[in-house]
Structure 1
Amino acid sequence: MAPFDLENIQGDIWPGLPKRQEVFLFFRIADDASQRQKFKEYLRNLIPDITTAKAVLDARARIREEKDKTAADDEASKLLPWSGVNIAFSSTGLAALGKHIMNTKVNMEEIRRDPAKWRELKKNQIRGDLFDKGMFDDLVYEGWDDPQELRREYKKDPETKQRQIDGVVFVASSTQKQLEKAVGLVKEKLHMRDIDDDIDEDAACKLILTRKGKARPRQLKGKEHFGFQDGISQPQLEGLDPPPKGEKEPKAVPPGLILIGHDGDALKQPAWTKDGSFMVFRDLQQLVPEFDQFLEDNAHASRSTEKSPASANKLGALIMGRWRNGTPVDLNPHDDNDPSLYRSNNFNYTPVGSHDRCPFAAHIRKMRPRADLDDDEAVIIRRGIAYGPEVSEEEKRNKKTSKERGWASNHHFPSNKYDAVGLSGPGIDGIAGQRLAHHPPRNMGLPDGKKPSEARLSLGAWVTHKGGEYFFTPSLKALREDLSSAPLQAKL
């Protein structure tokens, strides 16, 4: 296996930026050719501030050292001042920088007939129709996003009919002060103007949208707003992560499933994309009081919940696939009281034809079916962070969301489960599954001791998909050699 250049890989691809606070700065590159040239020059100045995988490993080592030191001294550990910066581009952003040709704007057949143009295209063009068309066209025109629910910045510009987001800078930090300092540095180096600011001769990009996230306080740290422990199960990359220890844990996957140009990368992307990775940004709003009320109202939805002393919590566990502390229901469908199971990944849903312990439509089973698919069939690394305030007392009383906070839609996936759940199929993912107004009602099958099971749970909608975009996160080498430019020298 080829060695990894950890100073060439952006740190949020692997191993992930440490974050208590995070800001996403979505920007649009100017249309004028001279301003685009300036953006490439400004981007060159930002490259020394991009946080690499090696820098993240070094930061994590310092954090562990501080924790060990304070634990030995019986003191509370201090937050080390730290910040990290990464950058990614949509297909329109790469096109603005001269490294992508939008399939929608050219006659591809004409290019194929010209050998020189075809060679140049193959040398530069990232493969992937979804990346090319962007999330709006993919998930509104061909998917199940409701355009009425999307933030306007994720939609096309109403006047130009063009996508608005060319790139995103994400800044993570341990403290608010460090975050503000790093965000200010990014804006200064890229000469980034706010959307309503007048464009001057130095401007090369505009800030379209800012999204802010932060870790939840104290004992809720690491949990998303519904109260479930987040980020427990991540794919382990061969050669980078420690190999899984449990007999039933998912095996380590080839690094090329995440990192372009490495073992397992089947798409044969252009050479300049090596050590880069694709990033999907999804903006998800969570309706927490409504979800909690649903669990209370439906606590006795099946025999498997009505016998539980914590029936509402158990129903939530069946919908998620883990209890709120993290215990997989496949390992313990009865309670969440064994700390040794809180972060366990040593399960695989076998026998795969049964959902007596974990429903087929449980969120984590839909997202990664484990024994139902090959280990390297489909993997993603999740880097989410909660946004928005904690649920207020007023929201708890009214059982209705008034403030924004955030965090698979196929009824018949996993397939061939009709003997266990009947002809209605496993059902929709109870957390992230989408339905438009003309679709069949949302529901999922629950275990009830019968075969096939008869219990069906009608589901509400507690996650609103607010939009997002598909991005490519380039390597440091690609940023230096392919996407940025040294300042042009004035002629005397």
Structure 2
Amino acid sequence: MPRKLDKKGLLYDFITPNEKDLGANGTYVVLRKLEQDVAGFWNAIRARADELGKTPHWLAAKMVGRWMNGSSVVDYPDQEGPPPTRDTPGISFAADRHGYRCPFGAHIRRANPRDDLGDDPEASLAVVARHRLHRRGRVYGKPPSDLFVDDGRRRGLIFITVGTSIRRQFEFVQNLWLTSTCFNGMHGEDDPVAGPRAPHYFGDGRGAHASQTSPFSIPAYPLRRTVPALPRFVTMRGGDYFFMPGRRALRFLAALG
């Protein structure tokens, strides 16, 4: 901003002599209100799990990358493990190169590939670190009494992330990892949980046009399994991009009054 507007000299100097840096030490904030179709999700999962000879909770865990108590399918691929604690080691995909434990398209593997991009785990970690998100979520709405029954109430997640670059962090992860249909060698499928597909309708979603749904691949030996025609389960109901000023900028703005 023009130097002459900072009459009290509260802001840092900018790289050009006639300007001051209003954005120094500031943070960019992304807020999203994400409505979740809980009953639609579980009914769609139950129908497809039956075809695989698996339980709905098993298929849901493969799609998310975690069991409902938070334990990772990397460590517990077939049944729920103990809830993670502060002492639980972080997830590594290096020992699951074929995706037999955690599928390549699982939500957590897309949102944070960790050491899984390419053949060099350390190089992958360095690349992923440039796009990491500092994020938190808070649920809204009353939890359903029955996961498979639509009670007509709206519920979901308030998602917030802060960072130094919306483009390099939030938009990169969303567009090139979560919603990309060719992420990590896959073809024609996006995030099984949060993908922007056609909404759930016609019972289990199979009434939707094929181009409005997405399959989900589960690597297995000798042949992978494919879960067909997943509809949309998450709908963005609102949100925006914000700038959170640093302390000097806050003092400057407060002095304007």
Flag whether TM exceeds 0.5 (same fold).
yes
Q: Does 2:53 correspond to 1:281?
A: no
Q: Does 2:142 correspond to 1:389?
A: yes
Supply the distance in 2 between the matched residues of 1:392 and 1:340 (Cα, whole angstroms): 25
Partner of 1:448: 220
| Cα drift, residue 360 of structure 1 | 1.0
- 2:81 is paired with a residue of what secondary structure? coil
Partner of 2:133: 380
Supply the distance in 1 between the matched residues of 2:86 and 2:101 (Cα, whole angstroms): 17
Go from structure 1 to structure 2 and tell me whether the alpha carbon gap of 1:345 and 1:292 turns closer, same or farther (over 3 Å shift).
Answer: farther
Go from structure 1 to structure 2 and tell me whether the alpha carbon gap of 1:471 and 1:120 turns closer, same or farther (over 3 Å shift).
Answer: farther
Q: Check conservation: 1:328, 1:344, Cα contact below 8 A.
A: no
Stretches of structure 2 that go unaligned for 5 or more consecutive residues are 7-14, 118-123, 158-177, 199-208
Given residue 67 of structure 2, which amino acid in structure 1 is its aligned partner?
W
Is the helix fraction higher in 1 or 2? 1
Partner of 1:334: 78
Deviations 1:389-429 (A, max 9, x none): 22256xx67x2251111112111112xx36xxxxx36x211
| Cα drift, residue 362 of structure 1 | 0.7
Go from structure 1 to structure 2 and tell me whether the alpha carbon gap of 1:440 and 1:388 turns closer, same or farther (over 3 Å shift).
Answer: closer
| Cα drift, residue 276 of structure 1 | 1.8
Give me the TM-score of the superposition, normalised by structure 2: 0.69
Q: Of the candidates 441, 459, 471, which is equivalent to residue 242 of structure 2?
A: 471
| Cα drift, residue 330 of structure 1 | 0.9
Supply the distance in 2 between the matched residues of 1:388 and 1:413 (Cα, whole angstroms): 33
Go from structure 1 to structure 2 and tell me whether the alpha carbon gap of 1:283 and 1:351 turns closer, same or farther (over 3 Å shift).
Answer: same
Number of residue-to-residue matches in the alignment: 207
Q: Of the candidates 362, 366, 369, which is equivalent to residue 110 of structure 2?
A: 366
Partner of 2:195: 433
Partner of 1:207: none
The equivalences for 1:35-434 within 5 A come to: 123=19, 271-302=21-52, 306=53, 311-339=55-83, 344-351=88-95, 353-371=97-115, 372=117, 373=124, 374-392=127-145, 399-407=149-157, 408-414=178-184, 417=185, 424=187, 427-434=189-196
Given residue 359 of structure 1, which amino acid in structure 2 is its aligned partner?
P
- 1:300 is paired with a residue of what secondary structure? helix
RMSD: 3.2
Question: Which protein has the larger Cα radius of gyration, Structure 1 or Structure 2?
Answer: 1
Partner of 1:195: none
Stretches of structure 1 that go unaligned for 5 or more consecutive residues are 1-93, 100-117, 125-270, 419-423, 488-492
| Cα drift, residue 274 of structure 1 | 2.8
Give me the TM-score of the superposition, normalised by structure 1: 0.38
Supply the distance in 2 between the matched residues of 1:402 and 1:272 (Cα, whole angstroms): 46
Go from structure 1 to structure 2 and tell me whether the alpha carbon gap of 1:345 and 1:377 turns closer, same or farther (over 3 Å shift).
Answer: farther
Q: Which runs of 4+ in 1 moved over 3 A?
A: 118-121, 339-345, 436-440
Deviations 1:316-357 (A, max 9, x none): 100100011111101110111334579845222125641111
Q: Check conservation: 2:113, 2:128, Cα contact below 8 A.
A: no
